[in-house]
Amino acid sequence: MIMMNICPKCEKVILSDYKFCPRCGYSIYGKKGAEEPAHAVPAAAPVAAGEDTSKVLQFFNVAQTLTTADDIDLLLKKIGSAVEEILGAERSSIMLLDDTGENLYFKTATGEDILKKLKIPVGMGVAGWIAQNKKPDIVNDPYNDERFSPDTDKKTGFKTRSIVGAPMMVGDELVGIVEAINKTDGEFTKDDMNTLMGFAGLAAVSIVNTKLKTDQKNFFSNMLDFLIIGTEALSSPEPTKSGHAWEIAKYVPHIGRELGFDRDKIHLIHNAALMHDIGFLGLANPELIGLRIDRELDSNAKYRLHPIIGSEIVKGIKMMHDMGPYILYHHQFKDGSGFPENLPLDQITPEIEVISILEQYCIRKDKRALDPKKFSPAVYRAFDKVIH
């Protein structure tokens, strides 16, 4: 079976044959690991090699799921289900630390919705002790443990027979705790605790990453709104009224699906449609993006520069640089007409044409005014089907 120790310094789980802790560098040569918790923990029962291998495979299968999850609620449900399956527990609960850092609240809890309304102060109960001390623990006789509160059992009618819990940590920061309740076969062991500790660490990083992705998406979405409003406030020379970018973007998913584009591609085209006129911001303040524009140019000449300036603005922004070709080519067509001039026409893909054809339609407000020869047949057919 796989043997694990606990680093005496940082108290993280490490493989028993490691001579140095890979997290803090502490030498553990010849040492046996951290002392046992103050409350007695039964020794691990012998595990057959096949069972141990199965547990490891389950762990890595869960790890792969966690690293690909984007929705925080779905992620936490998967964590809870995995804990129950891997540890052989009747129930599980995941509590996160609130913004004050003083309370834990139930984010997921198997079987009892009433738990989601409860808050547990850090330091109170078994869960609060784990959070306060940032250490795992096992309680196989909770009603004889002074930290355990039977109030929750009384409210739910559930009988707690055993608990194993571990803090979810990222570095020294507590994210929350994860608990498994009621071992279905015997008592929780040190092996169970070590498994839960490793799993809790993975879960903590996944939770933080998922929150970060959500925050980035929200920031990106708000920045798009700001830039669109700023672009339209500069009164671009487009013969359209406010809302031009949104009008183009609303048709993108429909045409994209007609062309068989996947969700990620449609999302990129949609965002590029929202940003396609960002070049007008650069025209107003070219110095801010390191461009020199002849101030003697007439308004039409400046207007023809906005796709180039727009593509220059986004190419240096990691979250936007993929939009560059869409912005550069949104006034250029397959037949060679349009602007900027002298662009390689083989770079005009159907994805890019979605914006260019919608640009022309939203300017003219009549699809009969569009020349089908300017666009790829497949793109025009998709457009014609969507725009009745």
Where do the structural domains in the chain lie, given as residue ranges? Answer: 1-35, 41-212, 234-386
pLDDT digits (tens, 9 = 90+) for 169-215: 887 889 999 999 999 999 999 989 988 887 788 778 777 777 766 66
Give the fold, CATH level 3, of 234-386: Hypothetical protein af1432 (1.10.3210)
Nearest-angstrom CA–CA distance, 21 and 15? 9
Q: What are phi and psi of 45, to 5 degrees?
A: -75, 150
- 106-127 mean pLDDT: 81
pLDDT for 345 = 86
- In the block, which residue shows the tokens 């070049």? 279
pLDDT band at residue 113 under the 50/70/90 scheme: low
Hey, what are 179's tokens? Answer: 């608990």
Question: Are domains 41-212 and 234-386 of this chain identical in fold?
Answer: no
Other Cβ atoms within 10 Å of 103 Cβ, number: 18
Residue 154's pLDDT band, with cuts at 50, 70 and 90, is confident
Contact 149, 128 (CB under 8 A): no
Q: Number of helices (H) and strands (E) in the chain: give both, helices first.
A: 13, 8
- List the structure tokens of 350: 């159907």
Report the distance separating Cα 140 and Cα 117, nearest Å: 26
Does pLDDT of 269 surpass 50? yes
What is the rounded average pLDDT for all residues in the chain? 78
Phi, psi at residue 178, to the nearest 5°? -125, 135
**Domain 41-212 belongs in CATH node 3.40.50.10190:** no
pTM for the model: 0.48
